[in-house]
């Protein structure tokens, strides 16, 4: 077994970046398969903090091939700035390749993201305002500009001229300002010149690596309940963060995926609007936000915090065919008192044990909680399962049982070293 998907099992920010970094050193290819710079993946190592938005967190490992897959929406300006920022911290990086099928995010996408959010008023999604939704809208509408077009000067000029004329009408209609085609073209042609050498065939690279038995790690962004199809629609992102997206976004089929690890916080958070049954609006929620420093990596917004939702997590395990769980941020739950976990929902006076099929029901669902003993110990220095207090062990066992998914890895702090591997067999086999 040699292929592994790392997927966010909640609403994003589960610490996927840290886990991809830890396991990326063992992979030959690390490939991002969805989303764009709406993601913010933090890696803390050797006293340095990296905040990746587009680059696969595996890029820190020299000798690794890092790929931005065809399922992504890539902002060229953001990518070049991120490369510069990252090289300032670590000059030697892995080899980066970009799929010609990845869609390009332009300034009009960002402008439209803001204008559309404004038009939604109280129903706003709370997007990261990175233009991701409007870029994927163009993809679905079949008018998007892909990386392959972008780095072909003639094609790029023709396509951009058509699209800008259309977007200017749209932006004016929504109360925005039109954009000047020539200056936009000049600025983005300069980015295309820098990016051109990186745009190469990538599906074949991933397929060959899989065929040769090399270790390939598929890095998820966002989280399962932000998935366009499986999330709390319409409060979702516009791509497929779920494990299935790894196939769509990189050019391999389902039988090429060996293992799937679902990264999950010991509690829940969400940024932006939408259903969140176990959300806490009290002092405990505030305590978790402060102890966990739960403020967005990309936008700095305070994250909404709540108890772990095992109804949602079980659903997530099934959607993603999880082999195992990676339970992160267990250290943050110290000193919060008894811990609650949702094991059912009350919907229309009936208790159910699964996620409701409509967003309205999910919005109105009242969680049914079970209370578990908490812990006051600082666990950030634990080296093994045996070092963990019994209440932490019981918490982990409860989650495994309720979701029928074994815990493969525990994370007890942001550093690479603060990681306890329980089931190596569930990682690379």
Nearer to ligand GDP, 342 or 379 (CB): 379
Per-residue binder mask for Mg ion (CB under 5 A), 32-51, x = binder: --------x-----------
15 touches, from ligand GDP, ligand IMO, Mg ion, none (C-beta below 5 to 8 Å by class): ligand GDP
Q: Which stretch, 12-20, 361-369, 382-390, 405-413, contacts Mg ion (CB under 5 A)? A: 12-20
Nearer to ligand IMO, 8 or 367 (CB): 8
Cα dihedral angle (138, 142, 148, 154), rounded to 10 degrees?
-100
For 271, the token pair is 């940024």
The residue number with the shortest CB distance to ligand IMO is 272
226 touches, from ligand IMO, ligand GDP, Mg ion, none (C-beta below 5 to 8 Å by class): ligand IMO
237 touches, from ligand GDP, ligand IMO, Mg ion, none (C-beta below 5 to 8 Å by class): ligand IMO
Does 73 contact ligand IMO by CB under 6 A?
no
Does 272 contact Mg ion by CB under 5 A?
no
Does 275 contact ligand IMO by CB under 6 A?
no
Of residues 133-152, which lie at the interface with ligand IMO (CB under 6 A)? Answer: 133
Q: Which stretch, 34-42, 183-191, 315-323, 353-361, contacts ligand GDP (CB under 6 A)? A: 34-42
Q: Check: CB of residue 374 under 8 Å from CB of residue 333.
A: yes
Q: Which of 2, 4, 15, 22 touches ligand GDP by CB under 6 A?
A: 15
Nearer to ligand GDP, 36 or 414 (CB): 414
Q: Check: CB of residue 216 under 8 Å from CB of residue 250.
A: no
Binding-site residue total for ligand IMO (CB under 6 A)?
23
Catalytic residues: 13, 41
Does 237 contact Mg ion by CB under 5 A?
no
Compute how many other C-beta atoms are within 10 angstroms of the C-beta atom of residue 422: 19
Nearer to ligand IMO, 125 or 392 (CB): 125
Per-residue binder mask for ligand GDP (CB under 6 A), 38-77, x = binder: --xxx-x---------------------------------
Does 17 contact ligand GDP by CB under 6 A?
yes
Q: Which stretch, 74-82, 177-185, 201-209, 410-418, contacts ligand GDP (CB under 6 A)? A: 410-418
> What's the chain look like in SS3?
CCEEEEEECCCCCCCHHHHHHHHHCCCCEEEECCECCCCCEEEEECCEEEEECCCCHHHHCCCCEEEECCCEEECHHHHHHHHHHHHHHCCCCCEEEECCCCEECCHHHHHHHHHHHHHHHHHCCCCCCCCHHHHHHHHHHCCCCEHHHHCCHHHHHHHHHHHHHHHHHHHHHCCCCCCCHHHHHHHHHHHHHHHHHHECCCHHHHHHHHHCCCCEEEECCCCHHHCCCCCCCCCCCCCCCCCHHHHHCCCCCHHHCCEEEEEEECCEEECCCCCCCCECCCHHHHHHHHHCCCECCCCCCECEEECEEHHHHHHHHHHCCCCEEEEECHHHHCCCCCEEEEEEEEECCEEECCCCCCHHHHHHCEEEEEEECCCCCCCCCCCCHHHCCHHHHHHHHHHHHHHCCCEEEEECCCECCCEEECCHHHCCC
Does 237 contact ligand IMO by CB under 6 A?
yes
CA angle in degrees (0–180, nearest 5) for 163-166-172: 130
CA atoms within 13 A on the CB side of 314: 20
Does 8 contact ligand IMO by CB under 6 A?
yes
Does 359 contact ligand IMO by CB under 6 A?
no
Nearer to Mg ion, 65 or 298 (CB): 298
Q: Which stretch, 11-19, 284-292, 315-323, 356-364, contacts Mg ion (CB under 5 A)? A: 11-19
Q: Closest separation between CB of residue 36 and ligand GDP, Å?
A: 13
Q: Pick from 136, 156, 140, 137: which is nearest to 148 by CA?
A: 156
Of residues 329-348, which lie at the interface with ligand GDP (CB under 6 A)? Answer: 329, 331-332
Does 82 contact ligand GDP by CB under 6 A?
no
Q: Which of 242, 250, 297, 405 touches ligand GDP by CB under 6 A?
A: 297
411 touches, from ligand GDP, Mg ion, ligand IMO, none (C-beta below 5 to 8 Å by class): ligand GDP
Q: What are phi and psi of 271, to 5 degrees?
A: -110, 140
- Which chain residues interact with Mg ion by CB under 5 A? 13, 40, 297
- Which chain residues interact with ligand IMO by CB under 6 A? 8, 12-13, 38-41, 125-128, 130, 132-133, 221-223, 226, 237-238, 271-272, 297
């Amino acid at each position: 077994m040699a292929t592994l998907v790392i997927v966010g099992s909640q609403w994003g920010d589960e610490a996927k970046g840290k886990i991809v970094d830890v396991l990326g050193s063992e992979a030959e290819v690390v490939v991002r398969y969805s989303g764009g710079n709406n993601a913010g993946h933090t890696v803390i190592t050797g006293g340095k903090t990296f905040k990746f938005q587009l680059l696969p967190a595996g890029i820190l490992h020299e000798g690794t091939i890092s790929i931005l897959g065809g399922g992504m929406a890539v902002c060229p300006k953001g990518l070049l700035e991120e490369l510069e920022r990252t090289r300032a911290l670590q000059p030697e990086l892995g080899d980066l390749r970009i799929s010609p099928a990845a869609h390009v995010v332009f300034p009009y996408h960002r402008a439209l993201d803001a204008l559309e959010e404004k038009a939604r008023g109280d129903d706003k999604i709370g997007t990261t305002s990175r233009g991701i939704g409007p870029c994927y809208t163009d993809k679905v509408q079949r008018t998007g500009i892909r990386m392959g077009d972008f780095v072909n000067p003639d094609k790029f000029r023709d396509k951009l001229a058509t699209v800008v004329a259309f977007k200017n009408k749209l932006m004016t209609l929504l109360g925005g300002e039109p954009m000047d085609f020539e200056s936009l073209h000049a600025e983005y042609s300069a980015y295309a010149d820098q990016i051109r050498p990186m745009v190469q065939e990538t599906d074949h690279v991933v397929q060959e690596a899989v065929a040769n038995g090399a270790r390939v790690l598929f890095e998820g962004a966002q989280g399962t309940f932000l998935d366009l199809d499986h999330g709390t629609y319409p409060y979702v992102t516009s791509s497929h963060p779920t494990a299935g997206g790894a196939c769509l976004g990189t050019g391999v089929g389902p039988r090429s995926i060996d293992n799937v690890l679902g990264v999950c916080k010991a509690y829940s958070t969400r940024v932006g609007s939408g259903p969140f049954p176990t959300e806490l609006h009290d002092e405990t929620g505030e305590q978790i936000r402060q102890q966990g420093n739960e403020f967005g990596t990309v936008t700095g917004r305070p994250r909404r915090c709540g108890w772990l939702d095992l109804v949602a997590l079980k659903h997530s395990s099934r959607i993603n065919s999880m082999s195992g769980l990676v339970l992160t941020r267990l250290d943050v739950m110290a000193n919060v008192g008894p811990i609650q976990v949702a094991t059912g929902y009350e919907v229309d006076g009936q208790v159910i044990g699964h996620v409701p099929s409509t967003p309205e029901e999910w919005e109105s669902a009242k969680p049914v909680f079970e209370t578990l003993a908490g812990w006051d110990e600082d666990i950030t220095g634990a080296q093994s399962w045996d070092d963990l207090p019994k209440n932490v062990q019981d918490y982990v066992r409860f989650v495994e049982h309720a979701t029928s998914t074994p815990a493969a890895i525990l994370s007890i702090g942001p550093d690479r070293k603060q990681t306890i591997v329980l089931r190596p067999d569930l990682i690379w086999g």
